[in-house]
Structure 1
């Protein structure tokens, strides 16, 4: 099971770089960056935490950090035209020498769209647009020339050159919706990601397998990745909107064993509850020791 770190983009670049370098130097497998411009807050509430832009961070980390895979978790489709994003992804793959993971999602965060005047359509249209974008990415990144006539995107003799170093560049889809989004994963993804503890991931993974059978795809062709917040030492916070585990090395080990038992391919560790500075680096070492044991 691969092990990757997910440093928050709401901290100074120096902190992100410190975490990424430590992970690369101590045997971790990857570094992921989220694509948001501000924290998720109600409309009208001013964000107090700055947030760095994902594409720029991916390129910077790709140039500065050796060996590990660099990925986005995940680019929101509504924020950039898919042809522009395809060129960005191919460029980062060249910067990294073929280590980029192209993580994408439909987009969802309301306050970002509201503040920037970016259209956030109803769910059906949002997902229809995302499916068209996936077709555009498959075309631009994997074929010489792309013609596409959709409701949302139109391409004429379109090229994306140079192509990525990786052939194909792995496309990771962030998705939790069981009826439609996991079917989209079955059709278009090389990797799948969602939040969840082992029981949730096992349940959704079984549904993904069923969608793979429906579309005629080998489920083993899609890597499974997941994350939850981790506490390395201390009590677990209550009433968080995302899952959390840990509190001690033994509790981390118990949950990691659960992920391993369901066949998870990659465990991703957000750094949001791991502290800062030396405390955070010590927590990374504790988690790595548990996972590698």
Structure 2
């Protein structure tokens, strides 16, 4: 598995017609595949997230959507960025992602994290618990899921989960990759050092150097070869052949989030745009190179939350970013 260039779809607010929604998702996945993206991601949420939209805006169930994309694409890897561990029983999740792997001919990746969106848990009836609870649960879940993905039949009796000789058949392969996602320097990074093939780091670009230093430390503590743990960064990209249009789309997007760039202080502007890369293709490429890749990150997972549904934009982003991570 390699994730050098991933495309995440965090937004399904494309039109007023539900009938047009999934064809637009398929079109983006196919355009990403044609443009050289190696992985397509959807979020594992039930509601749209704060900062992206209102809770009632459209949000597809992740694994149903990924299963449908498996039949609509041919070579691009498929994953959630990332699965909320609290939403599924661990052996059931192992079964689910293994089925996606079978359906896609070996293109599934298990992206997983501890879960964080309290409103979803509350309104859907899932136990939220404390921060410590959720990471204890993730640790236990990985001790069940990882062996099941490798063809073993684990028995486990923990504080949160219990399985007995859990069978996971059929499997397409014995090395289905595990990706952790998040920015937690102690818990998330420690679990990545123990269990993951890939870590997608979610943070502000201004924090990246510190995050990578912390990851080095967690790998050392786990006696893990740091070079064997691939990394990527989640980037919010607003790109257009016309850089001025891209900047206008960025201003309009941030205004909907309550940030007016025309009146914001320099500090407020920096905070609002720390994870964003905006402009014409050459400007976006330069920003990603200097703010992310030069820090030591291996790959880019980007979303195009403002205009990715517009035909041609995913391809433009692919042509812009792929040379940087090839």
- TM-score, normalising length: structure 2: 0.82
Structure 2: distance between partners of 1:292 and 1:168: 26
Q: Which moved more, 1:181-190 or 1:125-134?
A: 181-190
Q: Is the 8 A contact 1:58 1:70 kept in 2?
A: yes
- 1:79 aligned partner: 87
* Deviation digits for residues 45-83 of structure 1 (CA, Å, limit 9, x no counterpart): 973312110010111111210111111101101111011
Matches within 5 A, 1:34-45: 34-40=43-49
- 2:297 aligned partner: 264
Of residues 218, 223, 245, the one that matches 1:211 is 218
Of residues 263, 285, 289, the one that matches 2:319 is 289
Q: Which moved more, 1:264-273 or 1:80-89?
A: 264-273
| CA apart distance, 1:95 | 1.0
Q: Is the 8 A contact 1:101 1:172 kept in 2?
A: yes
CA pair 50-265 structure 1, distance change in 2 beyond 3 A: same
Structure 2: distance between partners of 1:7 and 1:213: 34
| CA apart distance, 1:173 | 0.5
CA pair 98-192 structure 1, distance change in 2 beyond 3 A: same
Structure 2: distance between partners of 1:149 and 1:68: 37
1:116 pairs with 2:118: no
- State the secondary structure of the residue aligned to 1:52: coil
Structure 2: distance between partners of 1:289 and 1:74: 25
- State the secondary structure of the residue aligned to 1:224: strand
Which stretches in structure 2 are left out of the alignment for 5+ residues? 14-20, 260-271
Q: What CA RMSD, in Å, does the superposition of the two structures yield over aligned residues? A: 2.2
CA pair 276-72 structure 1, distance change in 2 beyond 3 A: closer
1:26 pairs with 2:35: yes
- 1:162 aligned partner: 170
- 1:4 aligned partner: 6
1:246 pairs with 2:278: yes
Query: Higher RCO, 1 or 2 (CA under 8 Å, sep at least 6)?
Result: 2
Number of paired residues?
287
| CA apart distance, 1:123 | 0.7
| CA apart distance, 1:41 | 5.1
| CA apart distance, 1:166 | 3.4
- State the secondary structure of the residue aligned to 2:165: strand
* Deviation digits for residues 70-123 of structure 1 (CA, Å, limit 9, x no counterpart): 111011011110111100011111111111111001011011111111100001
Which stretches in structure 1 are left out of the alignment for 5+ residues? none
Structure 2: distance between partners of 1:150 and 1:276: 44
Structure 2: distance between partners of 1:9 and 1:166: 31
CA pair 49-187 structure 1, distance change in 2 beyond 3 A: same
Q: Is the 8 A contact 2:6 2:38 kept in 1?
A: yes
Structure 2: distance between partners of 1:114 and 1:82: 20
1:142 pairs with 2:150: yes
CA pair 241-166 structure 1, distance change in 2 beyond 3 A: farther
- State the secondary structure of the residue aligned to 1:261: helix
* Deviation digits for residues 26-55 of structure 1 (CA, Å, limit 9, x no counterpart): 22211111100112359xx97331211001
Q: Which moved more, 1:134-143 or 1:66-75?
A: 134-143
| CA apart distance, 1:199 | 4.4
- 2:26 aligned partner: 17
- 1:107 aligned partner: 115
Structure 1: distance between partners of 2:11 and 2:94: 22
Q: Is the 8 A contact 2:238 2:304 kept in 1?
A: no
- 2:196 aligned partner: 189
